[in-house]
Chains A and B, each alone.
Chain A
Amino acid sequence: MNRIESAFKNKKAFIPFITAGYPNINKTEDFIYKMVSAGADLIEIGIPFSDPVAEGPVIQEASQKALEAGTNLDNIFELVKNVRKNISIPLVFMTYINPVFKYGYDNFFNRCSSIGIDGIIIPDLPFEEKNEISQFAKKYDIKIISLIAPTSEDRIKQIAKDAEGFLYIVSSMGVTGIRNEIKTDLKSILSSVKKTTSIPAAIGFGIHSPEQAKEMSKIADGVIVGSAIIKIIKEYGTNADKHIYNYVKRMKESM
């Protein structure tokens, strides 16, 4: 069983997101350990990109600040290498296609594999363009996590059929960011997904409260939270450790 499978085995997975290098790369390492000890089942590590078109203002700002602080792929790889020595839960990267393309697909996935990355989420790489990276990801056994959106409709089957790792179900239209109400008919999306694949499906975009996490974990295999965590870091900066711990613990316990 690979690490991603075990994260969903007999439990609902709580998946926090963190922007690497926000506010600095050393703190990212501390924050990851806090999330793990608070019960995170899988961690999504954001590689910051200058123009994150799928992100709302909170993660946009974190990405910009991280880049200004000197974060780059080389020091992110170092970070993950250190983290992997101390934790065993799955780690997936979330980034845009250009940094991966520029690094060289073979180099990138080779490096991912050697430092213990399990999967990758690339929001600007839809099903039609997956071939861009699939042979390299396969060669180094990095799972490509596909996204399904509220508008996917007849595409759900095609995406789910080809899915690996887990499926990222986008809860709402638009970009990432906290939402008080999620109106998409997620039940019917999940039921189409489940008809096609046995790969676990986690819901993300907009989720921030324990009530939402509880609600979503009833219909999905996992819950992904990003902006709410970045907001905690924005508020408490380098002192966010215990606030992140408490938040992740509360979210995990609600599920």
Chain B
Amino acid sequence: MGNTRFGIYGGQYIPETLMNEITNLEKSYNCYKNNPEFVNELNTLLKNYAGRPSLLYYAENMTKDLGGAKIYLKREDLNHTGSHKINNVLGQVLLAKKMGKTRVIAETGAGQHGVATATAAALLGMECEIFMGEEDTKRQALNVYRMKLLGAKVHSVTSGTRVLKDAVNEAMREWSNRVNDTHYVLGSVMGPHPFPTIVRDFQSIISKEAKQQILEYEGKLPYAVIACVGGGSNAMGMFYNFIEEKNVKLIGCEAAGKGLNTDKHAASVAKGEIGIFHGMKSYFCQDKYGQIAEVYSISAGLDYPGIGPEHAYLHDTKRAEYVPVTDEQAVSAFEYLARTEGIICAIESAHAVAYARKLAPKTDKNESIIICLSGRGDKDVAAIARYRGEKIYE
């Protein structure tokens, strides 16, 4: 077993039943990640099936309106299935297949990761079961039906607080029940090693492309890259190839829900403390006895009480900055992007857009800012209408 940590964060805090399987996963991943046949197969899928490379779009209207740095949008929302989740899922499901697995399971919050997993399973001929908190199945009913259309079985999780963290609990329980033929497709840069590394590697294509694209358009690196953070997979993907470029600011936007002065938020860096949960040491929202807190965000995808261990490390070393964005700011950015650029983005991604609206006017016109538009917003339209007090049929 290689290094399982980022500084003090990460590790493998999981039941013994899963330890051999997770060691096996690490070995298989290390064997395939540089295997030319595997890499070629994955790249072909990313290009011909997912639609990569994704566009780096110059948001001219937004740039003019904000009057500062040039705004670029990394359009992960244009990927097949409508979010960055497909990058990781194609990699993991292909890997699972090489490992001889015939069944994949996954947790999902907003449903984007569940839909992506169900899609890859349909494509690659794997059995698929998705765990989703009961609350989220209500918030994201459309995605539940999409997963069913794709042939997946969706389990509505009624334990605990019935949201994303409970879906992860249930997926872990199911995995420990059946490891022989089953791979757990973890959806974010979290969980026990090697998941944070595997998911980051598969998502790092976002910044690999974005770096080339911005150099082509601007001839220099951006002033900042901005992404929303729940567990942190799109942010890790957006940050990764810029970490070595010390002058590029890396900014993660956490869900501040109804405000950091309330208990209705999911800001694990701003308000959480170091803990050990879901297989990793990292920052978690928790009470003084170490019970994991019930968190809240309008965005089901950011409604998670922790953050991936590499983010915790980037925070401590001050290489990345994590900022809170409230529901209200996110909804207002969601509407703003729709009106200004004609793009309806995911409410998760709108957290990053919201912070860019603050940062761009303060930044020189010769600089550029890249926002990771991690997903599209069709799934959120009904919830935004509800937030604004309008009743529409989904």
Contacts and interface: CB of A to CB of B under 8 A. Distances in A.
Does B associate with A? yes
A50 B279 CA distance: 15
B17 A149 contact: yes
Interface string B168-200: 010011001111000000000000000000000
A98 B179 contact: no
B168 to A, nearest CB: 8
Contacts of A103: 289-290
Select the residue from A50, A153, A173 with max chain B CB neighbours within 10 A.
A50
B291 to A, nearest CB: 4
Interface string A86-116: 0000000000011111110000000000000
Contacts, number: 119
B15 A126 contact: yes
A67 B291 contact: yes
B169 A174 contact: no
Contacts of B15: 53-54, 123-124, 126, 147, 149
B1 interface: yes
The interface size bin for chain B is 35 or more
B291 A49 contact: yes
A57 to B, nearest CB: 7
Nearest to B174: A174
A173 B159 contact: no
Interface stretch (B6-14, B226-234, B342-350): B6-14
B176 A173 contact: yes
B20 A155 contact: yes
A99 B20 contact: no
Contacts of B169: 51, 53
Interface in B10-30: 11-21
Contacts of B259: none
Contact of A99 (B19, B166, B178, B289): B289
Interface string B282-303: 0010101111100000000000
B177 A102 contact: no
A53 B274 CA distance: 19
A64 B274 CA distance: 23
Prevailing SS type, chain B contact patch: mixed
Contacts of B292: 50-51, 98
B178 A102 contact: no
A98 B293 CA distance: 12
A223 interface: no
Contacts of A123: 15-16
A6 interface: no
A150 interface: yes
Given A54-B15, A124-B13, A126-B14, A151 B289 contact: no
Nearest to A72: B289
B313 to A, nearest CB: 18
B20 A98 contact: no
B179 A151 contact: yes
Contact of A174 (B166, B173, B284): B173
A129 interface: yes
Interface of A: 49-51, 53-54, 56-57, 60, 64, 67, 72-73, 97-103, 123-129, 132, 146-155, 159, 170, 173-175
30 contacts: A49-B291, A50-B160, A50-B291, A51-B160, A51-B278, A51-B292, A53-B173, A54-B176, A56-B173, A60-B159, A97-B276, A98-B277, A99-B289, A99-B291, A101-B274, A102-B275, A102-B286, A103-B289, A123-B16, A125-B13, A126-B13, A126-B15, A126-B16, A128-B1, A149-B15, A149-B17, A151-B18, A155-B19, A155-B20, A175-B177
Given A147-B15, A175-B176, 8 more contacts: A98-B276, A101-B276, A126-B16, A149-B15, A173-B178, A174-B17, A174-B173, A175-B177
The 3 tightest CB contacts between A and B, nearest first, are A102-B290, A174-B177, A99-B290
Interface of B: 1, 4, 11-21, 159-160, 165-166, 169, 172-173, 176-179, 273-279, 284, 286, 288-292
